[in-house]
Structure 1
């Protein structure tokens, strides 16, 4: 009979800087806890401290470092990189004694807290800080960036996403490999004179070059698919992770996209047709969610997902209105899109999860964001109203025109019906005459296609 592996345990560490208030600090730690649970860890405790900055070698003061070590069985001391060898029995005894002392359990009357296997810090750490914390706690240490990169790694499904995430992981690992290694010995034979560390770094550089080549080939295919949709009506759902974008995508399109109450459940761009279907069709894309301190390498890697937003006709900023920090989350989303120039794309604010918001709070939100679309993705009448708003936006952008389709080019009739709305149809001696309504770009493209010689 197979025994189930124990759930790994984690302790969270937060540093509250002077410019961060108590509510924002608590929300950040809560979000970190959700990130950690997404990885499958059980959170057994947290340590928080007010500090002027995050530059200290051990990050925490000595008292808090001892408190943290109480969760892991470490001694709370930043010792030498080459600690003296100890017998296993003595190490276990000293670890248990240190944990009991740190938690006030020296008399044995209270149960000791569960031992944490990993320390998760709600900030980006330098390699030396990671090393110091590992020596003080005797546990593995991950920073916020490392957690996000690992979640992306586990959730990537398509080839493009997997390539992107592997590149981001290698870029994250490379400097930490350099500074946390003991240096290694010299290699013998080919490459003599290189240390093991030099060899590992060269392997990472070679692998990154290989991944870039593979990714460029995959993205060329993606670019071609997007080019084919360029003159179509396109809506992109963007926003903070777990804001309900995938639930809204499913409601708007009737598609079976993945919906989970997890951070970063969606990493791959999904494109579906708005339902009930209209003429011309409206395409809706669900994109990767943003998060505070999203690693720049991941932003750069997910170029195709962000390009989907950049090339959309309309952006819907989806926000979890029930979250007290929704405004900060909205600013994170907008700042990332500003980096790629997508702030020039027309947008609408969607306050989602209104079914979780009390009536008084709803009135406050309506007064604060009078232009916002307030809804619940699980309420059919709300989704229907959003559908009408989307159609209304595109209707305002459309114009009417007359297309003359020569008899020799009747093969284009299907493309015309897909690209514009046909209001009336007649025939003359040259061919079919259609009164249409559509976007100026789509009409111009069809006119060029009809005028071009057959080939």
Structure 2
């Protein structure tokens, strides 16, 4: 059976505009959530938005908005008794005095995607009996808030962190990435476990069974803790192997592409290296670090790394678990910050990227700013960017001349730090000739009774390493 676009499951976005968040930022956050949900495989049929002083304690939204949300999902719109919203009277009084009362807004037909397409609201033409089955909330919410929303809407509820973790879970390919994502996923799931029927009974202890007085819920949580410990041990072993591989590349010329998700890093990677790197118009299409040589190759080789993209409000567990991926940026000789110049929010995205890299100590690594996708801009817009970012390189990964100019700029950067020297290669160590050609540019060779005298051009660190090998 052929799957059509209309058969994709439907979702509704929920966002609360908190004090200090302006309309543009709020709209950008919801649009980004829409793209995340679309990447997850859902069509967004509506956006339910509300301006509040804080998230409603029981179910994120106020009672009126909760009922409107439920109309899109087929739920009751009421949180069952036993879970009433806890109102903070002092906060409500302050909000009333400052004019920050609830202001509601429902936008229908905004799919939050990057193609500007419009989907009809549930119940419209072509979707007569279809209701949204997922509610995506643009905030990190508590397990109780998620449960109350599910009871009121009858739909599955995912907060922003849950959406991102699920995308990572589906897209991870390497063993390292899968382990990192699974640890983050279990840390996310553990506090959201709930008792099932009869699960609250206390059980007797026993070898291999429940501990004394341990409930089924506590047993499940203990199993998760044990599983996380196993995964961390396995991840440590994988990361030791990765560290060994990185050590072998030590001293080589390395460039790391860094930037916000979907900024075009993988497209640039493919254009610069001629490799078959996955290129897709999706958020987090790349989760694993890919390392390839600059193509056509130069001597010594220049390695290019494509790293995982950044995003606002990235779950802390994922930031921590992907630190090994970010190590590629920390160990690079040159960072290329890639920004989608056609995205009006790219300045905020660039700030997110720089902030995360600063946290891991990579802010001292030499860097260049690349304003990508300028083929989508008018000449007036490009001129404005030249005035705002005079040091940036404007380019499009789709234009060969732009890519060729970037390649030459990368080569020039490394050439500036190379020095000339002479190496003596004894006949007894001719096996090192390949190592010399790999790490230096040989300008001339002369042979006498002692061995070869090679005039080379290389980086100081590479020369020190070669001299050490020749002296053994």
In structure 1, what is the Cα distance between the partners aligned to 2:146 and 2:366?
43
Is residue 33 from structure 1 mapped to residue 34 from structure 2 by the alignment?
yes
Q: CA offset at residue 185 of structure 1?
A: 2.4
Which residue, out of 128, 135, 146, partners 1:119? Answer: 135
Is residue 385 from structure 1 mapped to residue 405 from structure 2 by the alignment?
yes
Is residue 187 from structure 1 mapped to residue 206 from structure 2 by the alignment?
no
Q: CA offset at residue 165 of structure 1?
A: 0.6
**8 Å CA contact 2:83, 2:148 repeated in 1:** no
Q: Secondary structure at the match of 1:263?
A: coil
**8 Å CA contact 2:251, 2:462 repeated in 1:** yes
Q: What is the aligned partner in structure 2 of residue 138 from structure 1?
A: 154
Task: Report the TM-score, using the length of structure 1 for normalisation.
Answer: 0.90
1:283-432 matched pairs, under 5 angstroms: 283-432=303-452
Q: Secondary structure at the match of 1:20?
A: coil
Q: What is the aligned partner in structure 2 of residue 167 from structure 1?
A: 183
**8 Å CA contact 1:127, 1:179 repeated in 2:** no
Which residue, out of 130, 144, 148, partners 2:164? Answer: 148
Q: What is the aligned partner in structure 1 of residue 102 from structure 2?
A: none
In structure 1, what is the Cα distance between the partners aligned to 2:330 and 2:200?
46
Q: CA offset at residue 240 of structure 1?
A: 0.4
Q: Structure 1 stretch 229-238 or stretch 68-77: which is displaced more?
A: 68-77
**8 Å CA contact 1:181, 1:197 repeated in 2:** no
Is residue 129 from structure 1 mapped to residue 149 from structure 2 by the alignment?
no
Q: What is the aligned partner in structure 1 of residue 88 from structure 2?
A: none
**8 Å CA contact 1:183, 1:197 repeated in 2:** yes
Q: CA offset at residue 180 of structure 1?
A: 10
Q: CA offset at residue 295 of structure 1?
A: 1.0
Ranges of 4+ aligned residues in structure 1 off by more than 4 Å: 1-6, 108-113, 178-183
Q: CA offset at residue 131 of structure 1?
A: 1.6
In structure 1, what is the Cα distance between the partners aligned to 2:140 and 2:251?
42
- 1:109/1:121 Cα in 2 relative to 1: closer, same or farther (>3 Å)? closer
Q: What is the aligned partner in structure 1 of residue 89 from structure 2?
A: none
Q: Structure 1 stretch 55-64 or stretch 215-224: which is displaced more?
A: 55-64
Q: Which runs of 5+ in 2 are unaligned?
A: 85-107, 109-122
1:219-238 matched pairs, under 5 angstroms: 219-238=239-258
Task: Report the TM-score, using the length of structure 2 for normalisation.
Answer: 0.87
Q: What is the aligned partner in structure 1 of residue 103 from structure 2?
A: none
- 1:128/1:109 Cα in 2 relative to 1: closer, same or farther (>3 Å)? closer
Which residue, out of 302, 305, 309, partners 1:282? Answer: 302
The total of aligned residue pairs comes to 429
- 1:265/1:227 Cα in 2 relative to 1: closer, same or farther (>3 Å)? same
Q: What is the aligned partner in structure 2 of residue 73 from structure 1?
A: 74
Q: CA offset at residue 55 of structure 1?
A: 5.9
Could you list the per-position Cα deviations for residues 144-170 of structure 1 after superposition, in whole angstroms to 9, with x for gaps in the alignment? Answer: 000000000000111111111100100
Could you list the per-position Cα deviations for residues 371-407 of structure 1 after superposition, in whole angstroms to 9, with x for gaps in the alignment? Answer: 0010000000000000011011111111111111121
RMSD: 2.3
In structure 2, what is the Cα distance between the partners aligned to 1:368 and 1:353?
17
**8 Å CA contact 2:195, 2:217 repeated in 1:** no
Q: CA offset at residue 6 of structure 1?
A: 4.2
Q: CA offset at residue 304 of structure 1?
A: 2.2
- 1:113/1:438 Cα in 2 relative to 1: closer, same or farther (>3 Å)? farther
**8 Å CA contact 2:13, 2:48 repeated in 1:** yes
Q: What is the aligned partner in structure 1 of residue 12 from structure 2?
A: 11
Q: Structure 1 stretch 334-343 or stretch 308-317: which is displaced more?
A: 334-343
Q: What is the aligned partner in structure 1 of residue 284 from structure 2?
A: 264
- 1:303/1:50 Cα in 2 relative to 1: closer, same or farther (>3 Å)? same
Q: Secondary structure at the match of 1:401?
A: strand
Q: Structure 1 stretch 206-215 or stretch 173-182: which is displaced more?
A: 173-182
**8 Å CA contact 1:268, 1:288 repeated in 2:** yes
Q: Which runs of 5+ in 1 are unaligned?
A: 84-102
In structure 1, what is the Cα distance between the partners aligned to 2:312 and 2:342?
18
**8 Å CA contact 2:56, 2:62 repeated in 1:** no
- 1:179/1:316 Cα in 2 relative to 1: closer, same or farther (>3 Å)? farther
Could you list the per-position Cα deviations for residues 273-306 of structure 1 after superposition, in whole angstroms to 9, with x for gaps in the alignment? Answer: 1011111100001011111111111111112211
**8 Å CA contact 1:273, 1:282 repeated in 2:** yes
Q: What is the aligned partner in structure 1 of residue 261 from structure 2?
A: 241
